[in-house]
Amino acid sequence: MGRKLLAAGQLAEALSHYHSAVEGDSKNYLTFYKRAAVFLAMGKSKSALPDLTKAIQLKPDFLAARLQRGNILLKQGSTQEAREDFEAVISPWDPESRELRAECYIRMGDPQKAIQDLTPTTRLRNDNRAAFLKLSKLHYSLGNHHESLNNIRECLKLDQDDKECFSHYKQVKKLSKQLDSAEELIQEGRHQEAIEKYESVMQTEPNVPYYTNLAKERICFCLVKIKSATEAIDVCSEAHQRDPRNANVLRDRAEAYILNQDYEKAVEDYQEAREFDGDSNDIKEGLERAQRLLKQSRKRDYYKILGVSRNANKQEITKAYRKLAQQWHPDNFQSEAEKKEAEKKFIDIASAKEVLTDPEMRQKFDAGEDPLDPENQQGGGGGQQGWPFHFNPFESGGSFHFKFQYN
């Protein structure tokens, strides 16, 4: 309302609204600055001065307020104070001052602020190819390869034969194309090809840490997707060493540990990832699943019973089952104690085969739930745990013999 009234020239009403705004939010530097603007429009520069000072206190780099205060102080004859304000202000239309300050920011290791100063200079100077080249290199170093490409193209629009710009353009274009292609391959589920593409990225640009870190992170992700657990753990660990606060790397390494059936380490990684990204549902759900799998592993682990990996296919599971079923068939044992032990193992082997060859049951088990555990059944409780075919042939008495069908 204050802004509308000021634009309409209703200064007293505008001032009233800005008084209310200042009372409502005494930490907003812009509100003080705008109230000062109303005072100035009313010809009350003395009243504007405290508001401009307050705006500068709240935001010391607020150059417009310093410039305005400097003008008032100069008119009041406070030349020394006015000089201090003017010295603190760089003229926004002076490209040389901006370029000098940008160079200072670069040397201080603050490329983002250098970019803020350099960007306007591309419009303040005619044919400012040097600024476009520098901006392109700064964006490139920060990993903003698309923005880097945009800036270097602007340089070539000014002079397509500029050797420095063309040389950098070739590098940026090649790298940007590889990065975009790698992400497209991941979106299409072509993870092995994406790995190869990210390896090319590291060869194209070995000197900028951002791109090596990104490549390691994404290769780690892809190796988990193709269920190459051991290699994934190695690459993810290297990526974690390079970028210890990267929650994505910790999440992916946790998944690699799950593939490797090392649930304690998976839980540790997910807990650490949650510290760096507490809002991620993926990490929250992953931690809960890893905790369920750890709890489950302390009970029956059907993969371990059959001696197969978590990514074993149905054929491998059936083959392992047949071998173990023949080995532990109770008819192979003579003494009562041996038979009892064999019966127990045989039931576990049959249970493992039932769960792992049934897609729905296997999915439940992989999510940390044992589909044959009575605790997980509706209504809980009753019945004997473990025998998958709902009867136990060994309860029929002493010398029960039967043929087992391997399917």
Q: DSSP string covering 50-86, please?
A: HHHHHHHHH-TT-HHHHHHHHHHHHHTT-HHHHHHHH
Q: What is the pLDDT of residues 207-217, one digit of tens each?
A: 999 999 999 99
Q: What pLDDT shows up at residue 376?
A: 65
Indicate if the pLDDT at residue 204 is higher than 80.
Answer: yes
Q: What pLDDT shows up at residue 93?
A: 79
Q: What pLDDT shows up at residue 208?
A: 95
pLDDT band with cut points at 50, 70 and 90 for residue 61: confident
Query: Which of 326, 372, 375 shows the shortest CA–CA distance to 351?
Result: 372
pLDDT band with cut points at 50, 70 and 90 for residue 91: confident
Q: What is the mean pLDDT of the segment spanning 355-380?
A: 81
Orientation of helix 29-41 relative to helix 63-75, angle to 10°: 40
Q: DSSP string covering 372-392, please?
A: T-GGGSTT---S-SS-TTSS-
Q: What pLDDT shows up at residue 334?
A: 87
- Residue 367 to residues 259, 284, 294: CA-CA distances in angstroms? 12, 14, 11
The CATH number assigned to the domain with range 302-367 reads: 1.10.287.110
Q: What is the mean pLDDT of the segment spanning 266-285?
A: 95
Q: What is the mean pLDDT of the segment spanning 344-368?
A: 91
Q: What is the pLDDT of residues 299-317, one digit of tens each?
A: 788 998 999 988 899 999 9
Determine the Cα–Cα distance for residues 122 and 152; give it in Å rounded to an integer.
12
Please, is 146 exposed, middle or buried when counting C-beta atoms within 10 Å of its C-beta (0-12, 13-18, 19+)? exposed
CA-based torsion, 212, 213, 216, 217: positive or negative: negative
Determine the Cα–Cα distance for residues 94 and 104; give it in Å rounded to an integer.
16
Q: Is 390 left (phi over 0), alpha (psi -120 to 50) or beta?
A: left
- Residue 102 to residues 129, 299, 358: CA-CA distances in angstroms? 16, 62, 64
pLDDT band with cut points at 50, 70 and 90 for residue 238: very high
**Could you say which DSSP state residue 386 is in?**
S
Please, is 266 exposed, middle or buried when counting C-beta atoms within 10 Å of its C-beta (0-12, 13-18, 19+)? buried
- Are the CB atoms for 252 and 285 separated by under 8 Å? no
Residue environment code for 183-197, b if the CB has 16+ CB neighbours within 10 A, otherwise e: eebbeeeebebbbeb
Residue-averaged pLDDT of the chain: 89
Q: What is the pLDDT of residues 97-122, one digit of tens each?
A: 889 999 999 999 999 999 999 999 99
Half-sphere exposure of 379 (CA within 13 A, CB side): 2
Residue tagged 């489950």 (tokens): 296
Orientation of helix 359-366 relative to helix 336-357, angle to 10°: 100
pLDDT band with cut points at 50, 70 and 90 for residue 160: very high
As given in the structure block, the two tokens for residue 308 are 């197969």
Q: What pLDDT shows up at residue 377?
A: 59
**Cβ contacts of 309 within 8 Å, gap of 6 or more:** 229, 259, 303
| Helix (H) or strand (E) run with residue 262 in it | none
- Are the CB atoms for 65 and 88 separated by under 8 Å? no
Q: What is the pLDDT of residues 288-299, one digit of tens each?
A: 999 999 988 877
Q: What pLDDT shows up at residue 276?
A: 94
Determine the Cα–Cα distance for residues 134 and 123; give it in Å rounded to an integer.
14
